[in-house]
Amino acid sequence: MVELKTDVSIEAMYEAGQVVARALTAAQKAADVGVSLLELDEVAHDVLREAGATSPFLGYRPSFAPTPFPAVLCVSVNDAIVHGIPTPYRLRDGDLVSIDFGAELGGWVGDSALSFVVGTPRPADLRLIETAERALAAGIEAAVVGNRIGDIAHAIGTVCRAAGYGIPDGFGGHGIGRRMHEDPGVPNEGRPGRGMRLRHGMALAIEPMVIAGGIDTFHPAPDGWTLKTDDGSRAAHAEHTVAITDAGPRILTAR
């Protein structure tokens, strides 16, 4: 069931989304050669505390997970696609880092992700990240009243496939609001004109993920959470929480 948000609720989601934006900005700024993933998690945790917000990630346990998620920040490095658990691993020059963060404030949730390179970037990594961002922008552009979920999926998939990248099979975005994961699902590839019609008041977390090697398959790491590319190639992830409004898509987690 899809809950249509009121304009007042969308404003409340914007406040939660801005906590997310501040945390991601702070974590990216703190990420440097020699900094541990646990230290990045603590930076994000500090933003939550200062805002009086809580984490929808911490303690979250979907059906596939062997244990509750132990952190407030997902940090996925190099061949990790999503759901990376912060560890004592210290960042190295040239690492490709994807960070994903959520915040709950006043009963409403925001969720967003970005990717970047620590230290000296490889041109191939910059192209990968730029493609994920372009795919996100294309998906958001298609998120207008009267379109369908398939129009968002098609826009994202077209950008990713044109660049020669893989799209993790079965993973995509989702509805969001009072809970982090709500209906409807938002695939990262699909046929235009298909699926649920978009209406004013819907809120979606749109999140393309791309695999540099061009494959769509992946496997879980031993921690049971982190998803890694099957061919060892690098991956990038970009995400925003977006409200569908009569005035056009509104990015609630804009940084």
Answer yes or no: is pLDDT of 64 > 90: no
* Residue 162: partners with Cβ closer than 8 Å, 6 or more residues away: none
Burial of 219 (0-12, 13-18, 19+ CB in 10 A): exposed
Please report, rounded to a whole number, the percentage of residues in the chain having pLDDT higher than 70: 100
Taking only the tens place, the pLDDT of each residue in 87-129 is 999 999 999 999 999 999 999 999 999 999 999 999 999 999 9
Quick: pLDDT tens for 184-212: 999 999 999 999 999 999 999 999 999 99
pTM: 0.98
Residue 15 has pLDDT above 90, yes or no: yes
What CA–CA distance (Å, rounded) separates 208 from 224? 22
- Segment 146-161 shows an average pLDDT of 98
**SS3 assignment, position 244:** coil
CA distance 27 to 73: 9
Gap between the terminal Cα atoms of the chain:
30
197, 147 in Cβ contact below 8 A?
yes
Helices assigned H by DSSP within 31-101:
37-51
Element (H or E) spanning 243, and its range?
Answer: strand 240-243
Which has the closest alpha carbon to 186: 194, 178, 214, 234?
194
7-251 has CATH 3.90.230.10 classification: yes
